[in-house]
Amino acid sequence: MNKKTKASLSTSSDLAVPPQHLQDILLEQYQKGQFVAAEQVANSITRKFPKHKLSWTLLGAIFGQTGRYVEALAANQKVLALSPRDAGAHYNLGITLKSLKKIKESESSFKQAITLNPNFVEAHNNLCIIQKELGKLEEAAVTCKRAIVLNPDRTEAHFNLGVILKEQGKFDEAETSYKHALALDPNNFNAHSNLGVTLLELGKFNEAKKSCKQAIALKPDLAAAHNNLGNVFEKLDRSEDAIASYRKAILLNPDFAEAHGNLGLLLEERGELENAEAAYKKAIALRPEHPEAFNNLGNTLQKLGRLADAEAAYSQALLLKPGYAECHSNFGYALQRMGRFEEAEAKYRKAIVLDPEYAPAHSNLLFLSASMRFEPDRYFDDLQNFANMVEKQQLSAFTHWASNGKQKSLRVGFVSGDFKAHPVGFFLEGVLKQLRKSSSIELYAYPTTTISDDVTNRIKTLFHSWAPISGKNDKDAARLIHNDGVQILIDLSGHTAKNRLSLFGWRPAPIQITWLGYFASTGLKEMDYILGDPFVTPETEAHHFTEKIWQLPESYLCFTPPEQSLPVGPLPALSNGYITFGCFNSLSKMTNEVIAVRSDILNAVPNSKLFLKDKQLGYLRGRDRVLSQFALHGITKDRLLLEGESNRQEYLECYHRVDVALSPFPYGGGTTSVEGLWMGVPVVTKKGSYFLSHLGESLAHNTKLSDWIAFDNDQYTMKAIEFSSDLEALGNLRSGLRENLRRSPLYDVERFSGHLEQALWKMRGLIS
């Protein structure tokens, strides 16, 4: 009988079920991971017993675990053909479709599995992951919560819910979910790492650091945890540690695009622009669909002066993500620097439409309007939009402030991202030195960036307190300033880069002033005063400002002579045999009108040359653009000296090659003009009709060079021609200019600081 049965089993395929011992062998081999042997047994069974569901199921599993997803798909479909209402079969098909990147079909399979078995926990878990990938975050959260109800002790479900909630921006709830997962599995390194990211978003930086380090302790080669730790260090202003963490992440996973991108951001922040460019390009090579990397690359290329390349990078970012507000704003700034002002304005306005609360776009638009396209009514409309945004973001401003004892000293705070080698730093340093000598002034600094250089290191020692706020939101930064008991808070940025104007909306100090770094109204009702002088802020233009104008009696700024000890050189025309006009301002100030006037001057002064110096001119495209612009006016390239940027000493030495400086208009020279004057080079300037366009007038009046102010383009041209034609007078002016400047309000720091200190006390209402 046994012999007969054995023969029947070996020769007949009509039986639905193979011998039990074959099934046992198949299961044992599969469970032991002996997939090659198991596959052979399963194939032999399905050839003889084509309707044996278990064998097809295990074949599908073997194919899936060995990466043969197409074969797995066929096997799973065979199982479903045999048993259409098998929830497990639908689930297995979903897993295979997921592996084949057929996400929507996978979702359908998991849903069918749940329909057939509503308590199928694994199907819920996988469905929520698929729904997240499809961007269906609300549905994913519901699915995940259902999985938790079915099995509250399943770590994976709590972890998945945390991932979804974090992506929804529900960071408090995400924190709770990750902590639930860790309560169930304290060694879940991914949960520790993701918890670190969530805590970072919540501003709990030290807790975030602890979580990331715990993830690394559990799994030292977890690249994501090192990247996340780098993000924490960046927020803690520990840039060296952040860079080390990003590099460790890249070492562990060279194809980690996000880590390359993050490294690029820090390198860019530190001014290592070529290295940042390389990091961004690596990130793009790994993830060419990543718009943020193209945007960041554009920013770096723009800082390098390669504006055409930056334009290409921004264009690619917007091709990938048309609604990318930040990129529209950055693109606008590149266009502005190329002199394409209408296009720049359109980009800024597009950014604001896309994200009305994106402050940099508002500031960029206002900067453009205040510098190159000032129309008071339109500027005020845009100011109101900015002010409304700030008011909407603040919950409640401070209304009470601590008194500073018997008012023997005045605590003054300064908010800026430019405590460095920057015009603000150059003008501020000498004033701070003088104010520090006063026993009645306490100086508090609130840097908005961690970037530092030699100027930063010198300035830092002049403050009684130095408290960076780059890692703080407006509310926390305002609370810090308020708790410090600052009585007068001074904004040094206005609508320029790295500003924190929105924190002034919280009114952390009873008196708030804007000064030095900007040249127009901030638009904030909480900003009490703007510091000016009789020339840049005449009373007849008070309607240009939402702030009250506080006039300093002579100059609203005071220059700190450069630390580089350079003598005034002889007039170069005496040895050259021709006049060299010069302008070292940004090319963005060189409008078509300015080019036309400069061309008229060159055409009128035989053999004269124009020396231009700007970062863009360090690249062929920049030089070619300028040459073509002047060629339209008949100026050949031999009349133009074009140079890129250099260090400050070399830059100052370049004034030894300039006879007469030509300030652009309406956005005239500030720092460049003052530095030129220090180096003995007088500057022709044009009278304006608003703050920024008046700057040259203030400099000229305060250095007794008011005869160098022109009232229109024709007079500007004539003054340049006349002054350059009298070499003896020009040489005498050059040789005595620096000594005269030392006694002027623009350079007499003791005199200026006295005026400033008196103004601060008067604002506080403590003296009349």
Q: Which runs of E-coded beta strand occur in 134-199?
A: none
Give me the CATH number covering residue 622: 3.40.50.2000
In the predicted model, what is the mean pLDDT of residues 571-576? 98
Question: What is the structure's pLDDT at 444?
Answer: 99
Say what the pLDDT of residue 5 is: 25
Annotate 695-733 with DSSP letters as a single string.
HHHHHHHHTT-GGGEESSHHHHHHHHHHHHH-HHHHHHH
Q: Which of 265, 298, 325 delimits the end of a domain?
A: 265
- At 411 the three-state DSSP class reads strand
Task: Give the pLDDT confidence score for residue 471 in this predicted structure.
Answer: 80
Residue 393 has pLDDT above 90, yes or no: no
pLDDT confidence bin for 768, thresholds 50/70/90:
very low
Q: What is the CATH number of the domain that holds 533?
A: 3.40.50.11380
Mean pLDDT of the chain: 93
Q: What is the pLDDT of residues 679-731, one digit of tens each?
A: 999 999 999 999 999 999 999 999 999 999 999 999 999 999 999 999 999 99
CA distance 549 to 551: 6
CATH number of 271's domain: 1.25.40.10
User: Is the same domain home to 249 and 274?
Assistant: no
Query: Phi then psi for 728, rounded to 5 degrees?
Result: -65, -50
pLDDT score of 766 more than 70: no
Do 279 and 207 lie in a common domain? no
Q: Based on the fold, state whether residues 147 and 215 are members of the same structural domain.
A: yes
Mean pLDDT of all residues in 441-454: 94
Q: Are residues 440 and 544 in the same domain?
A: yes
For residues 444 and 515, state if they share a domain: yes
Domain final residue pick, 248, 265, 282: 265
The predicted structure's pLDDT at residue 538: 97
Domain that holds residue 678: 572-746
Question: Which residue, chain included where needed, has tokens 């006295």?
Answer: 754
The tokens of 589 are what?
């100030």
Nearest to 497 by CA among 237, 268, 203, 231: 268
Q: Token pair 């409640």 is at which residue?
A: 396
Name the residue among 534, 540, 489 with its Cα closest to residue 515: 489
Q: Taking the model in full, what pTM does it have?
A: 0.85
% pLDDT > 90, the chain: 83
Chain centre distance of CA 169: 20
The last residue of one of the domains, among 217, 245, 265, is 265
Write the CB contacts of 628 (distance below 8 Å, at least 6 apart in sequence): none
Q: Please tell me the predicted confidence (pLDDT) of residue 11.
A: 29
Report the domain count for the chain.
4
Task: Indicate the pLDDT class of residue 190, thresholds 50, 70 and 90.
Answer: very high
